[in-house]
Structure 1
Amino acid sequence: MMDGQLQLKLQIVGHIARIGRVAWSPDGRTLACAGIDRMVWLFDIEEGHYRTALQGHTEGITGLAFMPEGNRLLSGGDDSLRLWDVTKGNCIRLIKGYSNFFFVIDWSPDGQRLISGSQDSTIGLWNVNEDKPPQSLYGHRESVTGIGWSPDGQWIASSEWDGTVRIWNAVSGICLRVLQKSDDPAIFFGDLVWSADGTQFVSGTHNHGIQVFQINAKEHYWNQNSFPTSHLHLTWSPEGSKIATGGGDGAIYIWDAATSTVTQSWSAHRGAVTRITWSPDGHYIVSGNNSSELFLWDAKSGERLRNFLGHPSAVYSVTWGVTTQQLISGGIDGLLRWWDVQTGECIRVIQAHHGAVHNIRRSPNGRILASCGGDGAIMLWDLESGEYLQTLRRDRPYERMNITGIRGLTEAQKMTLRTLGAIEHN
C-alpha cells in the first residue's frame, strides 16, 4: 500500500473456470486455488506462475486447507475428501462419504410424478401417490444440474456438470438421444426450461452462453455467447417469445427466442443472479442473488417494483403462489418464505430442509409446492397454507436401523447414524 492506495503486486493465470476456494501454504510460498473445474491448482508465488494441477475430484471443490507442516493439502466438495502430497502432486488418501442431495426437480404435466436430478448423477422418477423408492435413470456421469419435463409429458430433458444434454422417454426411462457431449472441462450447465409448445428447450451455462435445443435436432438450435458473463439461470416467458437470463455480472437480459438477440438488459443485483422466473401472466420477473437480494421487476420496462427483505444469504429458488399476489422463496438457510407481493412483507417462514433449499416447484394444478435440498429429501407442502404433506427420499445407508438402547456409541456417532437414516426412540 502506497499513499493509501492498494496496488496489484502479482497476477497469476491458470484457472479456466470460476475460483471458489483458495488456501495459502504455511510458509507463504504456495497458493492453492480450486473451483468448479474440479481441479486444485498450485501456484508458486515467488516464481509467479502455475506449478501443477491436482486432478481426481469428480465435482466442484468447496473445501481447501493446507496441513500444518505445509507439504500436504486437504480438498473436498463432492462425496470425497482427498489428501494430497503437494511436493509429488499425487493423492495419498481418499476418504469416501455419503452425500446425495438434490439439485433440481420438476413436475410431470399431470401432477402425478416428480423428476429429480441429484449430486450422484442419477435421475429419479417419483410417483407422489405411492410410498416406494423412485425409478432411477442412469447415464449421466456428473451432477445433474438441469432437468425439465416436456409439456406433453412424453420427454424428459436433463443436463449435467460435464456438458452433456440427454433426452429420455418419460414412460420407459430409456435415454433416447444425447444432444451434446462436450469434452470441455470448463463447461457447466445450469437451468433447463422447455418452451410452452414443447418443441425446444433452453439451457444456461457458466461460460458457453445460453443454448436452445430442438427436440428433433442432434445439436443446439442456436448458441448465443456474445456476452462475457455466465448465464446459468433463466426463464421462458409464458407465451414463448422471450427468454430472460440472470447474469454472473448481476444483470438481467431479455432475449428474443426467435432471433437469439438481446432486446433489453438492466443492472439488477450487486452479485451474481442465482434465480430468475417469469410470472404466469407475463407481467413480472422476480430474481434473487447470492447475497440475500430478492427483487420484483416490471417485465416490460425493467423497473424495480419491490424489494423483499428477509433472506440472510443466497436465494437459490423462487416460484409463484396460488396467484401472482404471493411468492415463495428458498435459500441457503433451509427455510421457505412466503411473501405478499403487494406489500413486500414476509407472511410465513417454514423450516423445510436441513441444508440449503436448492429448488422449489409449483404443481401444475397450483395446489402443491415441492422443495428439494441438501438433506437428500423432497418435501411436499400445501402451496396456500404451507402445511406439510409428504416426504420423498431414497433409502440412506442405515435407513430404519434401530439404534435405541445400543451401548458403546458416542453422541457424535449416534448423530452420524441418524443423519444416515438410523432411528432412535426416546
Structure 2
Amino acid sequence: MDNTQENQIELHGDEEIIEVIDLNDTEPCPDDLADDLGDVDFEDAGNADNDEGWETEDEMEAEADQDDSELTFSKHNGSVFCVSLDPATNSMAVTGGEDDKAFVWRVSDGEVLLECTGHKDSVTCAVFSHDSSMVASGDMSGMIKVWKIETKEEIWSFEVGDLEWLEWHPCAPVLLAGTDDGNVWMWKIPAGDCKTFQSSACQATSGKVLPDGKRAVVGYEDGTVRVWDLKQGNAVHVIKGQEGHKGALTCLACNKDGSLVLTGSVDGSAKLINTTTGKVVGEYSVEGGKAKGSRDREESNSVESVGFCNVLPLVAVAYLDGTLAIYDLSTHVLRHRCQHEAGIVHLQWEESSSVVSTCCLDGALRLWDARSGNMVSEYRGHVAEVLDFTINREATLAVTASGDHQAKVFCLQRPDR
C-alpha cells in the first residue's frame, strides 16, 4: 500500500478520506498527545521447546539450591515467557506463560489480582497501559485481550495473525501490535477503532512507540527498519539495503528523547539511527565465533537485546554467545566486554545509574557497573533459563520470568546503597 492509499481509511465498508487532526505541534504535553491521538482517524474494526541448555540438569539443580529471591510466583503451569511492572506504582506485575494465561499479581505478596484467560496459545506478550488501569495480553496465535484491572473485566479483544510484539502508547489508551505478516496494527481502546501500517510481506519482528507519541519505529525480518508517522499512516523513513541490517531484527530501543534508536539483528550488528533524518549514524559489533544455542539461525552471533544508559553516553549490546558489550555512544568504541557463561536473553539499564542488568540461559540475573565493566552482583534461584525480567524505577527489585514455570522477585542489594 503506498502513502496515498494509506491515508484512505475504510470505515464500515465505505471508503472515504477523513480529515485528521495535526499531531505535529512542538513540545506537546502528555495530555495534548493523548487528546491528539484520540482524534486520529481509525477504521472501525470491532472486536473481534525444547531448547538446548548451556548446563546439565544436575548442574542447574545444584545451583538452584541457592535461592536469592524474596518471593516466588508459582501459579503458571508452564514456562513463563514475559513479565512487566505497572508503570504507575510498580506494585503489580503481569506474567504470561505457556499455559495460555496471564496473571496480574501483587509484587509484595504474590496475591493474584486478575487471571487473564481465554487465550488459544502461549501468552508471549503482557503489558500495562500507561496509567496502569488496563492490561493487554497477547498469545502466539494472535489473540489479543484487554482487561480493566479495577473491575477485572475483559473489555476488548481482537484476533490478528501470529503475534510478534505488543505495546501501549506512552500517554494514550492506544495499543499497537506487530504481526508475522508484516502488518502493524493500532487500536483505540476500548472502542476498537483500528488503523494498519502495511509493509512488505515479512515479519514485523520488533516495535517501539517513540516518546513523542507521534511516531513508531518497527524492525522487520528482512533487516529493514521503518519510522512510521502514526497520524498519517506513512513511513517517514525506511532504512534498508546497504544501510539496513543483513538479517532479521531481534530488538530495538530508543534513548530518552527519542532522537536515537538502537537496533539489533541476527546479523551480529547493532545500528544507531537518527530518527529525525533516518540516517544510520553508528554501528556496533564484536568479534565472535559461532554462537552456541543459535539453533535455526545461521548467523554467527545474534544480538538479543540493546539499550541506552540514561546518565552516561553509553549503550549496551547483548549477544547470544554471552557477551555484554558496553560501547561509547559518540565514538562507538568498545569500553567493556562482560562475558557470561551462557547466552544473554535480555538487558535493562537502571533509570538513574550506570548499572545494567542481564538475564541468561543459565538461570541467573546479573548486575554490571558500566563504568568499570565489573559485575556488581548475581542472583540465582531458577532451575531453568530466565526468559524475561524487569526492574522497578528505584532499582530496588527485579521480577524474573523463567522456563521453570516460575516468576521470582529479587531485592537488589549493592555496596553503594
Q: TM-score, normalised by structure 2?
A: 0.60
1:211 is displaced (CA, Å) by 0.5
| Mapped pair 1:216 → 2:190 | yes
Aligned to 1:329: 317
CA gap 1:150/1:160 in 2 versus in 1, 3 angstroms: same
Tell me, in whole angstroms, the C-alpha distance in 1 between the residues paired with 2:111 and 2:327. Answer: 33
The amino acid of 1:116's aligned partner reads T
2:95 to 106, 111, 116: 116
Q: Structure 1, residues 143-199: CA drift from partner, whole Å, max 9, x if none?
A: 333332212122221211101111134467x452342135xxxx2211222212132
1:329 is displaced (CA, Å) by 2.8
CA RMSD of aligned residues (A): 3.8
Aligned to 1:285: 261
Aligned to 1:177: 155
| Higher RCO structure (Cα 8 Å, ≥6 apart) | 2
1:48-63 to structure 2, matched below 5 A, reads none
Q: Structure 1, residues 110-166: CA drift from partner, whole Å, max 9, x if none?
A: 344443334443435566666x69878442332333332212122221211101111
Aligned to 2:174: 200
1:368 is displaced (CA, Å) by 6.9
1:320 to 293, 303, 308: 308
Tell me, in whole angstroms, the C-alpha distance in 1 between the residues paired with 2:380 and 2:103. Answer: 14
Q: TM-score, normalised by structure 1?
A: 0.59
Aligned to 2:127: 148
Gap runs ≥5 in structure 1: 1-59, 64-97, 397-418, 422-426
Gap runs ≥5 in structure 2: 1-48, 53-75, 289-300, 386-403, 407-417
Q: Are the aligned partners of 2:165 and 2:205 in contact in 1 as well (CA < 8 Å)?
A: yes
Q: Are the aligned partners of 1:111 and 1:363 in contact in 2 as well (CA < 8 Å)?
A: no
Aligned to 1:239: 212
Aligned to 1:305: 281
The amino acid of 1:164's aligned partner reads M
Q: Structure 1, residues 82-123: CA drift from partner, whole Å, max 9, x if none?
A: xxxxxxxxxxxxxxxx99555433332134444333444343
Q: Structure 1, residues 43-70: CA drift from partner, whole Å, max 9, x if none?
A: xxxxxxxxxxxxxxxxx8989xxxxxxx
The amino acid of 2:222's aligned partner reads D
CA gap 1:368/1:334 in 2 versus in 1, 3 angstroms: same
| Identity between Structure 1 and Structure 2 (%) | 18
Instruction: Please give the secondary structure, in 2, of the residue aligned with 1:291.
Output: coil
1:294 to 267, 270, 274: 270
CA gap 1:360/1:146 in 2 versus in 1, 3 angstroms: farther
* Residue correspondences, number: 297
1:104 to 69, 76, 82: 82
Tell me, in whole angstroms, the C-alpha distance in 2 between the residues paired with 1:392 and 1:150. Answer: 30
Further displaced range: 292-301 or 308-317: 308-317
Aligned to 1:381: 367
Larger Rg over CA atoms: 1
Aligned to 2:392: none
Q: Are the aligned partners of 1:102 and 1:376 in contact in 2 as well (CA < 8 Å)?
A: no
| Mapped pair 1:360 → 2:347 | yes
Aligned to 1:255: 228
Instruction: Please give the secondary structure, in 2, of the residue aligned with 1:201.
Output: strand
CA gap 1:137/1:338 in 2 versus in 1, 3 angstroms: farther
Instruction: Please give the secondary structure, in 1, of the residue aligned with 2:316.
Output: strand
1:235 is displaced (CA, Å) by 1.0
Q: Are the aligned partners of 2:96 and 2:125 in contact in 1 as well (CA < 8 Å)?
A: yes
The amino acid of 1:387's aligned partner reads V
Aligned to 1:343: 331
1:273 is displaced (CA, Å) by 1.2
Tell me, in whole angstroms, the C-alpha distance in 1 between the residues paired with 2:209 and 2:405. Answer: 38
